[in-house]
């Protein structure tokens, strides 16, 4: 067992041995991983005739199964989301599937007993069922995802938001046709365009008829969200175990960290000479908007930057070195990075321009909900928002896809090599420590 494995493995073994009332107070997530593990291991033990300690051994293969499932789900999602794009070949879909399945921040945890592969599996499965209109099944799978990680309730809201965004887009098109000014409207345009959209959104959502229609379509998700609030009320918070280390706060710079993380892992698509040139043209065209964005960003960094004790103390995680080597170099570094964040944000939104404005708004609401309340800078929190973003951007060229896959392969090889071979010890402990995400 390594790091959190030391909590997860004994807990799973306790469940496997029938001790369902035993709970480690250091575990913060619900027992989905352990319940699914036991639900698979016990029938497998009966089928293969396993006996003794091997039945509940630490070498559980559950995350290998989840990773295989994620591979298949990613292919199905890419096929469904881009089914209208006839220019995309089967080879490109398979290549993109392999790339996303080997996304380093997720792939690494295939080989540890962590909640991430299962959390991603049930959330992606719920998203797929939502896209196919099987909303009761989607909500049930969303509940399974919630049992792996409580913050996955946000992606249940995202599935409901997909339905709402679709209805809003239809109504918006009708509105534009009525006024016959579709040609005068630019989705990427000015504040006046944004104001018109927000005005329409409010008018649509305050209509009882529209609310009844949306409720009738999204009721399975609404029930799940109500169950979530009941759980929070009874539990006294969202965290199950160690609450002192997982306090919610308004950590707005988490959005900037996520955007930078996305640019790093999607650089073949986001960090191109063409995009950089387009960004500078956009700067020249909308100087007031970017100036205002910069001022707001500086204010949010100034007032809402938090540094979790784990980030400063735990030198086994890469985030420890990112923080020390970049952000702790000088007090002003976090402000100097604002132009980088602005480019990352612009490039991020630019790749989503094929989606409707309501889908983009809905996704950003979910993105804020899943990242901002987290005090700890932890790359694992970015896995699901990244994958959902990456699934929804247009297919890049074959060259860029191959470059992305090669980059992920190198990163995976390096991180696994470091984890296995570059071990170290703390002065006050005899245990072997390893570097990891």
Residue of 245, 248, 250, 251 whose CA lies nearest to 237: 248
The answer to whether the Cα torsion of 102, 103, 105, 106 is positive or negative is negative
Q: Which residues, in sequence order, are CB contacts of 12 under 8 Å at separation 6+?
A: 33, 34, 37, 38, 56, 60, 113
Residue-level pLDDT at 431: 87
Q: Which residues of 118-128 are buried (b: 16+ CB within 10 A; e: fewer)?
A: bbbbbbbbbbb
Tens place of pLDDT for every residue, the chain, 437 residues? 778 888 888 999 899 888 999 999 889 999 999 999 999 888 888 888 887 777 787 556 899 999 999 999 999 999 999 998 888 889 999 999 999 999 999 999 999 999 999 999 999 999 999 999 999 999 999 999 999 999 999 999 999 999 999 999 999 888 888 766 555 554 445 567 778 888 899 989 888 999 999 999 999 999 999 999 999 999 988 988 777 778 889 999 999 999 999 999 999 999 989 999 999 999 999 999 999 999 999 999 999 999 999 899 889 999 999 999 999 999 999 999 999 999 999 999 999 999 999 999 999 999 999 999 999 999 999 999 999 999 999 998 899 999 999 999 999 999 999 999 999 999 888 889 999 99
pLDDT at 85: 87
Q: How long, in residues, is the chain?
A: 437
């Amino acid at each position: 067992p390594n790091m959190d494995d030391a909590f997860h493995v004994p807990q799973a073994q306790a469940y496997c041995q029938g001790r369902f009332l035993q709970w480690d107070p250091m575990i913060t997530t619900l027992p989905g991983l352990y319940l699914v593990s036991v639900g698979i291991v016990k029938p497998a033990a009966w089928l293969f005739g396993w006996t003794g300690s091997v039945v509940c051994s630490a070498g559980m293969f559950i995350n290998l199964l989840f990773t295989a499932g994620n591979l298949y789900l990613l292919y199905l999602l890419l096929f469904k989301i881009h089914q209208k794009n006839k220019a995309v070949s089967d080879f490109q879909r398979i290549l993109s599937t392999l790339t996303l399945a080997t996304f380093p921040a997720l792939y690494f945890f295939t080989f540890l007993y962590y909640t991430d592969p299962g959390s991603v599996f049930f959330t992606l499965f719920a998203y797929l069922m939502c896209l196919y209109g099987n909303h009761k099944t989607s909500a049930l799978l969303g509940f399974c995802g919630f049992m792996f990680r409580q913050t996955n309730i946000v992606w249940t809201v995202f599935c409901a938001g997909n339905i709402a965004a679709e209805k809003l887009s239809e109504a918006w098109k009708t509105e534009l046709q009525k006024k016959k000014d579709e040609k005068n409207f630019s989705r990427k345009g000015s504040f006046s365009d944004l104001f018109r959209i927000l005005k329409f959104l409010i008018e649509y959502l305050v209509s009882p008829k529209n609310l009844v229609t949306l409720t009738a379509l999204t009721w399975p998700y609404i029930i799940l969200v109500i169950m979530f609030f009941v759980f929070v009320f009874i539990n006294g918070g969202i965290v199950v175990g160690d609450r002192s280390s997982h306090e919610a706060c308004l950590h707005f710079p988490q959005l900037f960290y996520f955007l930078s993380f996305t640019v790093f892992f999607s650089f073949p698509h986001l960090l191109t000479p063409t995009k950089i040139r387009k960004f500078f043209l956009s700067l020249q065209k909308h100087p007031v908007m970017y100036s205002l964005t910069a001022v707001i960003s500086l204010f949010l960094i100034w007032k809402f930057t938090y540094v979790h004790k784990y980030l400063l103390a735990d030198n086994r995680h890469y985030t420890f070195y990112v923080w020390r080597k970049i952000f702790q170099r000088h007090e002003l570094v976090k402000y100097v990075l604002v132009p980088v964040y602005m480019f990352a944000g612009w490039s991020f939104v630019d790749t989503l321009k094929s989606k409707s404005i309501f889908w983009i708004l809905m996704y950003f609401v979910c993105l804020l909900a899943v990242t901002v309340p987290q005090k700890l800078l932890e790359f694992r929190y970015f896995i699901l928002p990244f994958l959902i973003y990456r699934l929804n951007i247009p297919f890049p060229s074959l060259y860029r896809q191959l470059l992305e896959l090669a980059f992920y392969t190198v990163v995976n090889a390096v991180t696994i090599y470091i984890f296995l071979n570059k071990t170290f010890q703390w002065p006050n402990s005899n245990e072997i420590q390893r570097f990891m995400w």
